[in-house]
Amino acid sequence: MGLAVEASSSGPASVDGRSGLDGHRVLLAYLTYYVRPVRHYSYAVCVSSGGTIYTAEPDSPFAECIAITVTISASWGRGPTSKLAGSSAGWLGRFQSLLTFSRSGITDTRIAINTLDGDLSILPEASMGVDLVGCKSVQSVIARIISHISLESAEPSGIIRGSGWDQNLFEGKQFPSAIALSSHPELQGKKIVLRRIDYHAYWVSEAILDSILTENLAQDVEGGKIVRDRNGRPTGVFIDNAMDLIDEILPKRTDEDRFKYLESTAKEMLAVGLTTVNDAATDLETVEFYKKLDAQDKLPVRVTGMVNCGYTYCGDQVEKYRVISLTFGSWGAALWEPYSDLSSSRGILRAPEEVFPPLIQQWVDAGFQVNSHAIGDRANTLVIDSYEQVLRNLSHESTHSPRPFNFLRLRIEHAQILRQIDMKRMGKMGIIASVQPTHAIADMDYAEDRLGSERIRGAYAWNSLLKQNVTLALGSDFPVSPVSPFLGIHAAYTRRKPDLSYEDEGQGWYESERISMKQAKMEPNRHIYALKQPGLEIKPALFGQFQQREGESEESM
């Protein structure tokens, strides 16, 4: 479970930036930086005969032309460009250019409005190290590390980093150990830090363990876990808050490091048409880094940041706050009943539950919107309880005309395992569920063993949420999952692994929870915007960014 807050347009210090006809604007709301290094004039985007523009708008999903001014989409439709420039969009004035997408011999060019991602980390330094995704044994992990160090030099600190391991793929599904990393002669004495695929656990080498003060390893960590052997000695795996013990001995990131990570991630994003993200891991130093890049016109994508500033209110410094986040794959998600495959555990709450109601109230009172990270059913209930208390307080205090229950756009990130009663409560309160469809595909091989046959029916239950009138927003949770939005669309629509096509026979995993292709493609763009206020729709804010796709029919789009 975790907390994040986002500034409203009426809240204090909700706007602090600049704007102008150069298409460059910085808006500090939900810590959002709108940096648009694109065309600096009005223009229209059109497709030739037989082409289609997909707008992601339910009332007019397809068009032949879109009118743009200073990167803001103003109007679209079918027919001559001059019609768009007429009375329906008269305030545009004259177009300064006309972009027509057409290639010789191709008559079915498709243009799609680019998408955004509801929850990812845009500066994942571990992803620049050893890629361990898909490793099915400790030996496979070691082999990849050996291969990596033969090609890449270690950091100046001598630390070898990597990410992507998942013990659920190993035989026995047990956590690995520091001793195992020393089993190969080339790795003996090496400082190795490997993040789990969900970013909620470290697996480290003996050399790293030796770098931690003995007294720090002797005690358990509140809101976290140091995995120990039967004699109480640390094995080399640190979960949730216990990861802080490792972070304290790692060298701090420099702006040079941050730019390298940003450049790498942005290339992946833009290659798949992803232009806007909610960055799930933004510390205060990174906030300043974004500001520097903005001043130099070097931010390649649009970013909203979830800032980590500890367990206290820091709204005077930033526009986004994050408290805690839990993971399902490492038995960390807080559940009401024990895990079916680990009866001694109900998961971990990384902060006392009594922290949340007053803290959320404080952020709301200051004019912020709130986003809470929650995976387990207990964590989700605690968040919903806190939201309900805040909304009840507001309804009692309000002397104005009634406002819609969701005017605060309260949001839960992941909302992965829920009780039916809590789904109903979310719908009644207008709480947004920000979900990551690829998580279901990644977890499907072990999720039911972990949750049991009854509790699994409330997990990854997207269609059940929609039936309770819960608004969905879709994201990837990169680098936990691949950044491509198309994998998320495939997962949401088919509930099947990506190596199976839409047309392959056979049912998806708990197929009744799949959502339609239209919903899967619309939800990433329609509801995730932290800046969306009453009366402000996504429709006039497409920012003039598109992707060209070929060989797709209107039905497939």
Q: What is the pTM of this model?
A: 0.65
Average pLDDT (126-139) is 84
The DSSP bridge partners found for residue 195 are 163, 202
In this prediction, residue 541 carries a pLDDT of: 37
Burial status of residue 365 (CB atoms within 10 A of its CB: 0-12, 13-18, 19 or more): middle
- What proportion of the chain, given as a percentage, has pLDDT over 90? 22
In the numeric block, which tokens belong to residue 160?
Answer: 């070898």
Q: What angle do CA 480, 519, 99 make, to 5 degrees?
A: 90
Which CATH number among 2.10.10, 2.60.40, 2.30.40, 2.30.110 corresponds to the domain 32-114? 2.30.40
In this prediction, residue 139 carries a pLDDT of: 95
DSSP for 83-112 reads HHTSGGGGGG-S-S-EEEE-BTTB--EEEE
Domain residue extents for the chain: 4-11+316-530, 32-114, 125-247
**Which segment, 73-82, 353-362, 402-411, is predicted with the most confidence on average?**
353-362
Contact 412, 372 (CB under 8 A): yes
pLDDT one-digit tens code per residue, 480-527: 677 777 788 889 889 998 876 555 566 899 999 998 877 776 655 454
- What CA–CA distance (Å, rounded) separates 51 from 61? 13
Long-range Cβ contacts of 512-516 (<8 Å, 24+ apart): 512/463, 513/460, 513/461, 513/462, 513/463, 513/464, 514/462, 514/463, 515/462, 515/463, 515/466, 515/472
In this prediction, residue 316 carries a pLDDT of: 62
Task: Report the sign of the C-alpha dihedral through residues 493, 498, 500, 503, in that order.
Answer: positive
pLDDT one-digit tens code per residue, 177-205: 999 998 899 999 999 999 998 888 999 99
The reply to whether 125-247 shares the fold of 32-114 is no
Question: Has domain 125-247 been given CATH number 3.10.310.70?
Answer: yes
Question: Has domain 4-11+316-530 been given CATH number 3.20.20.140?
Answer: yes
pLDDT one-digit tens code per residue, 9-57: 222 222 222 222 222 222 222 333 333 334 444 556 666 555 666 665 6
162: helix, strand or coil: strand
